[in-house]
Amino acid sequence: HYNFSPGPATLPEAVLEQAQEELLDFHGLGASVMEISHRGPDFMALAEQAEADLRELMGIPDNYRVLFLSGGASTQFASAPLNLAAQGRPNIIDSGIWSSKAIDEAKRLTGVHVAASTKDGNYARAPLQDELVISDDAAYLHYTDNETIGGVQFDYIPQAIIGGQDVPVICDMSSSIMGREMDVSKFGMIYAGAQKNIGPAGITLVIVRDDLLARAPKAGIPTMLDYRTMVKTDSMYNTPPTFAWYLCGLVFQWMKRQGGIPAIAEINQRKAAKLYAAIDNSDFYSNPVELRHRSITNVPFILADESLNARFLAESKAAGLLNLKGHRSVGGMRASLYNAMPEAGVDALVDFMKAFERDHG
């Protein structure tokens, strides 16, 4: 079986097998990893290793803090403005449904400036650098690297300068983090829900540059949402989602064994190229996104004859190709090709699509 779910997504088989093997007895402790104290030496060692591996994989500079939080990326839609927009307005780029959610949440808390939007074009591409309009009071520039639902991905890192100063760039990387190389030093903050490329649901990764922590207001932020609390307590102010944290650590080790992000990114590029080629070389399937902004992780595609949708889903499921149904707002199909999706899964999907077209086209 191959699981094309957009999230929670497929995990590397080797990781699940290792977790299964040590599920009842973690490191000879006679207890499961989910039964031991997060403040004990065994869990602390696991947490430290996970951070060290993540830093190595992503090349995270020393002046960035790494936090393992709960609440999902959706909580960061609020935490970012609460912590980082005391002195100005968030400038947010609108490239799809997830950006819109970030905008709506920030608006509950503060004034917001939308720096650009491709909504009028039905989100068929991301805004371009020279289309961005930055406000003089910009606290930061927020964008969504990969729109998981629309299948739209930035092919550049947006930048902004106001009054001779770089405006910190904040990125929701939920569905693209660690899928390709990214220069962390270009960002003020990166955040991502784990349940796509990193691990199971329940953990949210926040990577934030030291100097930005000083921007938080003295009062008014709930303790659990205050980055300073989480930095001070190594993300253990309260009981963290320990089992999810452990699994993230196993995924990082798996990524290192694959050769790190460059090696994984190369496979990801190949997977995406194969699927888009299959879509583009047929009149039966189509993808509406402009070439340069097509997502390498989430590939929506539409059948020319939509009355065949139910059949496509039933037959693909029977062939072991799972969870290909598109998001309800877009319709059609969507194949998510996260890091743990082997290239053979894409080959199987492409073969199925060709056979389905032969039978029904």
The contact set with ligand PLP (CB under 6 A) reads 7, 72-74, 98, 144, 148, 172, 174-175, 193
Nearer to ligand PLP, 145 or 357 (CB): 145
Which one of 94, 98, 145, 254 is the catalytic residue?
A: 98
Nearer to ligand PLP, 124 or 350 (CB): 124
**Residue 180: HSE in the Cβ half-sphere, 13 Å Cα cutoff:** 20
Residue 98 annotated in ligand binding? yes
| Distance set, CA 37 to CA 67, 77, 170, 193, 239 (Å) | 19, 30, 33, 24, 9
Smallest gap from residue 168 Cβ to ligand PLP (A): 19
Nearer to ligand PLP, 32 or 74 (CB): 74
Q: What angle do CA 295, 84, 101 make, to 5 degrees?
A: 40
Omega before 8 within 30 of 0, i.e. cis: yes
| Distance set, CA 223 to CA 110, 154, 232, 235, 237 (Å) | 19, 33, 12, 12, 9
Beta-sheet pairing, 138-144 with 169-172: parallel
**DSSP state letters, 54-89:** HHHHHT--TTEEEEEESSHHHHHHHHHHHHH-TTSE
**Residue 244: HSE in the Cβ half-sphere, 13 Å Cα cutoff:** 22
Residue 119 appears among annotated catalytic residues: no
Measured distance CA(24)–CA(32) in Å, rounded: 5
Contact indicator for 297, 276 with CB cutoff of 8 Å = no
Residue 74 annotated in ligand binding? yes
Say whether 246 sits in a helix, a strand or coil. Answer: helix
Contact indicator for 94, 117 with CB cutoff of 8 Å = yes
Which one of 172, 234, 271, 325 is the catalytic residue?
A: 172
Smallest gap from residue 39 Cβ to ligand PLP (A): 26
Residue 32 annotated in ligand binding? no
Smallest gap from residue 149 Cβ to ligand PLP (A): 7
Residue 245 appears among annotated catalytic residues: no
Smallest gap from residue 41 Cβ to ligand PLP (A): 30
The token pair at 331 is 């319709």
Nearer to ligand PLP, 3 or 148 (CB): 148
**DSSP classification of residue 210:** G
Residue 39 annotated in ligand binding? yes
Nearer to ligand PLP, 143 or 284 (CB): 143
Nearer to ligand PLP, 175 or 339 (CB): 175
Nearest-10 Cα torsion for 345, 347, 348, 349:
90
Smallest gap from residue 93 Cβ to ligand PLP (A): 13
Nearer to ligand PLP, 72 or 249 (CB): 72
Which one of 196, 226, 254, 325 is the catalytic residue?
A: 196
Smallest gap from residue 176 Cβ to ligand PLP (A): 8
Smallest gap from residue 106 Cβ to ligand PLP (A): 13
Sequence-distant (≥ 6) Cβ neighbours of residue 100 within 8 angstroms:
94, 119
Contact indicator for 82, 223 with CB cutoff of 8 Å = no
Say whether 142 sits in a helix, a strand or coil. Answer: strand
Residue 339 annotated in ligand binding? no
Binding annotation for pyridoxal 5'-phosphate: 73-74, 98, 148, 172, 195, 238-239
Q: Which residues are catalytic?
A: 98, 172, 196
Binding annotation: 39, 73-74, 98, 148, 172, 195, 238-239
